[in-house]
């Protein structure tokens, strides 16, 4: 579906309606939201405790190893997606709890929180899908738009994407260092930039791959492999959800000149057009950190994410009113579009231009 072009007055009205929805929802934020995040934190801790105990006590038993790894993986997904990501957006700052405050929270992943707050909260959410500004657009590894010149190295990006998925926490950890620009000679790294990132990567590795195995005695190896697979489980899931939210076939990208002197309404419009939602059951939304409502998240990043489900029908109505496509679909549909996009932009544009000239059969 194509988006209808809006006049300046319509863009301003579009923004005003979304501002009103935001204000109405913020007015309801309070005790219910605080209880929700506390419940999720407890759920996460329960899964982690169960997972680690099963691995430590009976990890040599294949059934216990699988259950332990699965529960630990679920805990890491909950902590990464529904807790860490949303807490660091400031969604629960109103609680004034230093344990879950956006400026003090440090999550259970290789990525340093300060780097994440800059590369994601500021750069990505300010310059969403802006070519040359938004470093989440391909993570410096993939080509996902024809505004990015094709290079022979892009032929390998279906394989690069597979490795990025498996090692996603490290890709995110190195993200704010702009390693692609370092490789191209556009910048050099300082020790001040590198040390916090390296320290976090090493401390995370020491916790999962040294400390917990060392405390497990004869079950050290099952604990080690369980931690490895739990992290892989979290990495692959986070990669899939995030890519489905940004890189489906209808998710648009924008040039720098398109966002110059952008109004509030135009910013909302760009967030909508650059995002994609996922349909699913309640558990799916929780495990995705409610990034299954990526559209609502990009429109309202500081509102507690569990409220996106109640906001979504109003957002969809507003989009329909102004002739804008509300991009949503099943995980299978959206992820297949992501894979197609990755394969499409791995090939030179000239190849597609030539094939378009071929006569139809």
pLDDT digit string (tens) for 6-34? 999 999 999 999 999 999 999 999 999 99
d(CA 269, CA 144): 20
Whole-prediction pTM value? Answer: 0.93
d(CA 237, CA 234): 5
Cα→Cα distances 207→24, 49, 202, 210, 312, Å: 43, 15, 9, 6, 39
pLDDT the model gives residue 356: 44
What is the phi/psi pair of residue 254, to 5°?
-135, 145
Reading the block at residue 276, the tokens are: 């994609």
Cβ atoms of 291 and 241 within 8 Å: the answer is: yes
Displacement of CA 79 from its chain's centroid (Å): 13
Over 80: is that where the pLDDT of 361 sits? no
In the three-class reduction of DSSP (H, G, I as helix; E, B as strand; rest coil), residue 256 is classed as helix
Over 70: is that where the pLDDT of 5 sits? yes
pLDDT tens, residue by residue, 127-137: 888 887 777 77
Closest CA to 291 of 264, 312, 315: 312
What is the phi/psi pair of residue 21, to 5°?
-60, -40
The least confident of 63-67, 106-110, 220-224, 307-311 is 106-110
Reading the block at residue 254, the tokens are: 């924008």
Reading the block at residue 141, the tokens are: 């590894």
pLDDT tens, residue by residue, 157-209: 999 999 999 999 998 888 777 776 677 766 777 788 889 889 999 999 999 99
């Amino acid at each position: 579906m194509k988006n209808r072009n809006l006049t300046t007055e319509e863009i301003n009205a579009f923004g005003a309606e979304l501002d009103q929805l935001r204000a109405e929802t913020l007015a309801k934020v309070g005790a219910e939201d605080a209880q929700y995040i506390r419940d999720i934190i407890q759920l996460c801790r329960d899964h982690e405790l169960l997972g680690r105990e099963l691995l430590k006590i009976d990890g040599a038993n294949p059934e216990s190893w699988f259950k332990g790894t699965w529960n630990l993986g679920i805990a890491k997904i909950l902590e990464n997606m529904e807790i860490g990501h949303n807490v660091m957006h400031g969604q629960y700052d109103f609680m004034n709890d230093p344990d879950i405050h956006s400026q003090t929270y440090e999550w259970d992943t290789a990525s340093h929180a300060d780097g994440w707050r800059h590369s994601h909260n500021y750069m990505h959410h300010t310059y969403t899908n802006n070519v040359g500004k938004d470093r989440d657009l391909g993570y410096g590894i993939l080509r996902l738009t024809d505004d990015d010149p094709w290079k022979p190295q892009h032929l390998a990006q279906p394989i690069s994407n597979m490795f990025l998925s498996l090692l996603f926490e490290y890709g995110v950890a190195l993200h704010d260092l702009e390693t692609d620009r370092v490789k191209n000679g556009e910048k050099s790294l300082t020790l001040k930039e590198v040390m916090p990132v390296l320290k976090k990567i090493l401390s995370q590795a020491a916790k999962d791959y040294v400390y917990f195995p060392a405390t497990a005695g004869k079950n050290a190896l099952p604990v080690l492999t369980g931690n490895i697979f739990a992290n892989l489980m979290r990495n692959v899931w986070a990669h899939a959800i995030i890519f489905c939210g940004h890189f489906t076939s209808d998710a648009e990208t924008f040039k720098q000149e398109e966002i110059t002197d952008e109004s509030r309404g135009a910013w909302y419009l760009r967030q909508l057009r650059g995002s994609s939602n996922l349909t699913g059951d309640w558990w799916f939304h929780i495990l995705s950190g409610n990034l299954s409502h990526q559209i609502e998240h990009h429109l309202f990043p500081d509102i507690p994410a569990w409220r996106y489900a109640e906001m979504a029908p109003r957002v969809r109505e507003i989009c329909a009113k102004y002739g804008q496509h509300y991009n949503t679909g099943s995980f299978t549909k959206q992820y297949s579009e992501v894979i197609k996009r990755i394969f499409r932009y791995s090939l030179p544009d000239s190849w597609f231009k030539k094939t378009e000239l071929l006569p139809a059969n």
